[in-house]
């Protein structure tokens, strides 16, 4: 991968870091990451026990904006209901959302369902990754290639950002936001010669550790977004509406509970293609 870095005139700007990283420093960094992985890595995570690209894709979509502990049981439940990409493609959206319920961001479930249909149409996941898939962006596409096929690539997500910012950008002016394009050359250099699958798993786990120790260095990244509070949020109301509809229940009681935000939630769900109105009643879309 290539990356261009624009200097802003500060001697301790992030671009300066790139010119000061020695091979010895990279080797020392790798040693720290591998040591943590060996002693404290989350080796028992269920998606780390498979190289099935479908199962990897499910885990990656579920892990978007959702913490690992919440994903583990839902991942197992989802794969029990839809063990193959073919079974997911055959299922109805209502079936999918019923199992997805509790994870939030239900559009992810809808996109995963649509992606499964496209994968089945094409024939296999690897070939499907070469074209557009609903809800599968550049990071998810690269993550499936790394974790399912062990192809060399460089992944940058919140935990990995924390690692690189802590180790290589701690001297940069605190007010300076670090961009992924600045991290990329360091990450590329560090990944050289490492097993792609295990290296990125190790980086993620080490990043979780770093965030606990150092108040999440990734907050200095331009890619950092703070998740809004769930309780009382529009996300919570949308989830309640979908859960009720997927279970065949009426949603009239939800209107009195959530008042004005109920209509906003229903309108948003309809706009996203998750629900439709038929004969005066709402139902989960087909």
- Measured distance CA(57)–CA(157) in Å, rounded: 16
What is the four-CA torsion angle of 14, 19, 20, 22, rounded to 10 degrees? 130
Domain C-terminal end among 125, 149, 173: 149
Whether the full predicted model's pTM is greater than 0.85, yes or no, is no
Shared-domain flag, residues 142 and 156: no
Shared-domain flag, residues 256 and 180: no
Which among 184, 230, 224 has a CA at the least distance from the CA of 3? 184
Shared-domain flag, residues 121 and 83: yes
- Higher pLDDT: 150 or 211? It is 150
In a domain, 226, yes or no: no
The verdict on whether 60 is a catalytic residue reads yes
In a domain, 7, yes or no: no
User: Which residue matches tokens 């479930």?
Assistant: 109
In a domain, 87, yes or no: yes
What integer pLDDT is reported at residue 223 of this predicted model? 61
Domain C-terminal end among 95, 126, 149: 149
Shared-domain flag, residues 105 and 186: no
Quick: pLDDT tens for 33-81: 999 999 999 999 999 999 999 999 999 999 998 889 999 999 999 999 9
In a domain, 8, yes or no: no
Q: Domain containing 253: what range?
A: 234-284
What is the DSSP annotation of 83-96? -SHHHHHHS-HHHH
Query: How much of the chain is in helix, strand and coil states, percent to nearest 5?
Result: 60, 5, 35
In a domain, 4, yes or no: no
CATH for 115:
1.10.340.30
Shared-domain flag, residues 163 and 204: yes
What integer pLDDT is reported at residue 146 of this predicted model? 98
Shared-domain flag, residues 118 and 182: no
Domain C-terminal end among 120, 149, 178: 149
- 135-144 average pLDDT score: 96
In a domain, 130, yes or no: yes
What integer pLDDT is reported at residue 280 of this predicted model? 79
Q: How many domains does the chain have?
A: 3
Shared-domain flag, residues 115 and 156: no
In a domain, 124, yes or no: yes
In a domain, 9, yes or no: no
Cα-Cα end-to-end distance for the chain = 41
Shared-domain flag, residues 168 and 121: no
Asked if the model's pLDDT at residue 189 lies above 80, the reply is: yes
Shared-domain flag, residues 37 and 158: yes
What integer pLDDT is reported at residue 6 of this predicted model? 29
Find the catalytic residue in 16, 60, 77, 192: 60
Read off the DSSP letter of residue 13.
Answer: S
Asked if the model's pLDDT at residue 225 lies above 70, the reply is: no
Shared-domain flag, residues 216 and 238: no
- Tell me how far CA of residue 236 lies from CA of 125, 140, 231, 242, 259, in angstroms: 32, 25, 7, 10, 14
Residues 6+ apart with CB under 8 A from 116: 85, 86, 88, 89
Shared-domain flag, residues 254 and 276: yes
What integer pLDDT is reported at residue 169 of this predicted model? 83
Q: Could you tell me the pLDDT band of residue 131, with boundaries at 50, 70 and 90?
A: very high
Q: Could you tell me the pLDDT band of residue 246, with boundaries at 50, 70 and 90?
A: confident
What are the structure tokens assigned to 199, written together?
């290296």
């Amino acid at each position: 991968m290539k990356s261009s870095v624009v200097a802003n005139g500060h001697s301790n700007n992030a671009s300066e870091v790139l010119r000061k990283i020695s091979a010895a420093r990279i080797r020392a960094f790798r040693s720290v990451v591998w040591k943590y992985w060996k002693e404290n890595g989350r080796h028992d995570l269920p998606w780390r026990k498979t190289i099935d690209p479908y199962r990897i894709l499910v885990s990656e979509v579920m892990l978007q904006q959702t913490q690992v502990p919440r994903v583990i049981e839902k991942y197992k439940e989802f794969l029990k209901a839809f063990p193959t990409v073919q079974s997911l493609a055959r299922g109805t959206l209502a079936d999918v959302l019923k199992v997805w319920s509790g994870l939030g961001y239900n559009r992810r479930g809808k996109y995963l369902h649509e992606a499964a249909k496209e994968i089945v149409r094409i024939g296999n996941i690897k070939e499907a990754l070469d074209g557009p898939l609903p809800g599968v962006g550049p990071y998810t596409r690269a993550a499936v290639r790394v974790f399912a096929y062990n192809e060399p690539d460089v992944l940058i997500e919140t935990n990995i950002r924390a690692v690189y910012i802590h180790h290589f950008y701690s001297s940069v002016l605190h007010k300076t936001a670090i961009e992924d394009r600045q991290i990329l050359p360091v990450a590329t250099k560090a990944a050289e010669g490492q097993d792609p699958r295990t290296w990125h798993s190790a980086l993620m786990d080490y990043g979780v550790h770093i965030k606990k120790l150092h108040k999440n260095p990734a907050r200095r990244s331009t890619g950092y977004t703070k998740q809004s509070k769930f309780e009382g949020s529009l996300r919570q109301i949308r989830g309640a509406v979908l859960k009720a509809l997927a279970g065949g229940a009426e949603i009239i009681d939800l209107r009195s509970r959530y008042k004005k935000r109920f209509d906003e939630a229903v309108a948003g769900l309809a706009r996203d293609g998750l629900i439709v109105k038929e004969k005066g009643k709402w139902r989960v879309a087909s």
